[in-house]
């Protein structure tokens, strides 16, 4: 199955430059929290507040997962409609994103593989929640698996996960690239895949 989700993002940006804004916002949030963490790292170590950097890491990825939903909306609707749709479901999606980020971050800390597995089973859920206007976690979990397995997007998802890990391993700027990639490319892969599935059904 052909999937243009990796390549046609540049065409999407040309048609609607606003889709790139959430990705820059996610990187900016991550950078701000990293600067705060760096500035107070000495105090954190002295007071044994090791949970603070961990909490920051969860928050950064929570924001990234949530903003991926906004990106998906911007790719499907105009800016005004996107803001209205997003505001209705923001809190539910963010709460789920915190839950998702907690397990992904813990999993990545535990020899990487558990985090990759968790992300694999949840990677498209924020986009699903926003686009379908349904924040039922169990339904969206099933929808995520259906998209990956039944629609044969396993390879594309694994490639995306591999790229995220490779980006994270890049010194200093890797995590920012990974966040930018997730927020911008993952919704596009999902939307492109859904569009191709619908086109195949029509042809059939």
| pLDDT tens digits, one per residue of 97-151 | 999 999 998 888 877 788 888 888 899 999 888 888 777 878 888 888 888 887 6
- Give me the domain span that covers residue 143: 16-193
In-domain check, residue 9: no
In-domain check, residue 4: no
In-domain check, residue 6: no
In the block, tokens 């940006």 appear at 13
In-domain check, residue 167: yes
Residue 170's region, left for phi above 0, alpha for psi from -120 to 50, else beta, is beta
Q: Of 22, 27, 25, give the one whose Cα is nearest residue 73.
A: 22
pLDDT tens string 68-110:
988 988 887 766 666 677 777 788 889 999 999 999 988 888 7
In-domain check, residue 202: no
Please tell me the pTM assigned to this model. 0.83
- Split into its structural domains, the chain has a count of 1
Q: Enumerate residues 6+ apart whose C-beta is below 8 A from 5.
A: 156, 185, 188, 189, 190, 191, 192, 193
Task: Please state, in angstroms and rounded to a whole number, the distance separating the CA atoms of residues 110 and 132.
Answer: 33
In-domain check, residue 198: no
Q: Of 3, 120, 105, give the one whose Cα is nearest residue 60.
A: 105
């Amino acid at each position: 199955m052909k999937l243009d989700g990796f390549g046609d993002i540049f065409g999407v940006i040309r048609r609607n430059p606003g889709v790139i804004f959430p990705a820059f916002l996610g990187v900016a949030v991550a950078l701000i929290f990293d600067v705060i963490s760096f500035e107070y790292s000495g105090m954190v170590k002295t007071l044994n507040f090791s949970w603070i950097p961990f909490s920051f890491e969860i928050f950064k990825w929570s924001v990234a997962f949530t903003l991926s939903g906004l990106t998906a909306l911007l790719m499907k609707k105009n800016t005004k409609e996107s803001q209205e749709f997003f505001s209705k479901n923001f809190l539910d999606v963010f709460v789920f994103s915190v839950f998702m980020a907690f397990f992904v971050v813990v999993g990545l800390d535990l020899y990487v593989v558990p985090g990759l597995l968790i992300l694999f089973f949840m990677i498209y859920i924020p986009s699903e929640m926003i686009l379908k206007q349904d924040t039922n976690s169990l339904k969206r979990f099933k929808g995520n698996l259906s998209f990956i397995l039944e629609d044969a997007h396993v390879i594309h998802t694994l490639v995306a996960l591999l790229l995220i890990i490779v980006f994270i391993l890049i010194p200093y700027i890797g995590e920012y690239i990974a966040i930018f990639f997730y927020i911008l490319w993952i919704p596009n892969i999902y939307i492109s895949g859904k569009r191709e599935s619908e086109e195949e059904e029509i042809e059939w």
